[in-house]
Copies of this chain bind each other. A is one copy, B any other.
Amino acid sequence: MDADGIHGQLDTLILATLLRGEAHGYAIIGALRERSGERLDLPSGTVYPALRRLERAGHVTGKWTQAGGRRRRVYEITDDGRKALEKGRENWLALRQVMTAVLDPS
C-alpha cells in the first residue's frame, strides 16, 4: 500500500509510533513499514510535513541531535499529543464500525 488510502489517519499512525518512544522521521517511516508488515511505505514528502504540522499543533516536540555526523530531528509525543491520539483512535473505531456496517451485508 502506498500513501494514498491512509487519508486522515497519518497523524494517528505517527503519534501511535511515537508512543513507544521518541524517534526521528526516517525511523518513523521504517517503523511503520516494519509494523505494517512492509505494507505501508510512506514517502518523506508526506511524513516530514506531517511532523512539522504535529509540532506546530503542539502534539509533538522536536529537537536536533547528532548521530555520527548525521543530523537528526528527534520527536517526542506531548500530553496534548496523547490526547489527540486517543481522539484519533476513537475516530478510527467509529469509522471502522460505520464501514463494517455498510460494507458487510447483514
Contacts and interface: CB of A to CB of B under 8 A. Distances in A.
B35 A102 contact: yes
Copies in the complex: 2
Contacts of A32: 102
A40 interface: yes
A50 interface: no
A94 B35 contact: no
A91 B39 CA distance: 11
A5 B7 CA distance: 9
A40 B94 CA distance: 9
A46 interface: no
Contacts of A95: 1, 5-6, 9
Interface of A: 1, 4-9, 12-13, 16-17, 32, 35-37, 39-40, 89, 91-92, 94-99, 101-103
12 contacts: A1-B95, A4-B8, A5-B91, A5-B94, A5-B95, A9-B95, A9-B99, A12-B103, A13-B102, A32-B102, A36-B98, A36-B102
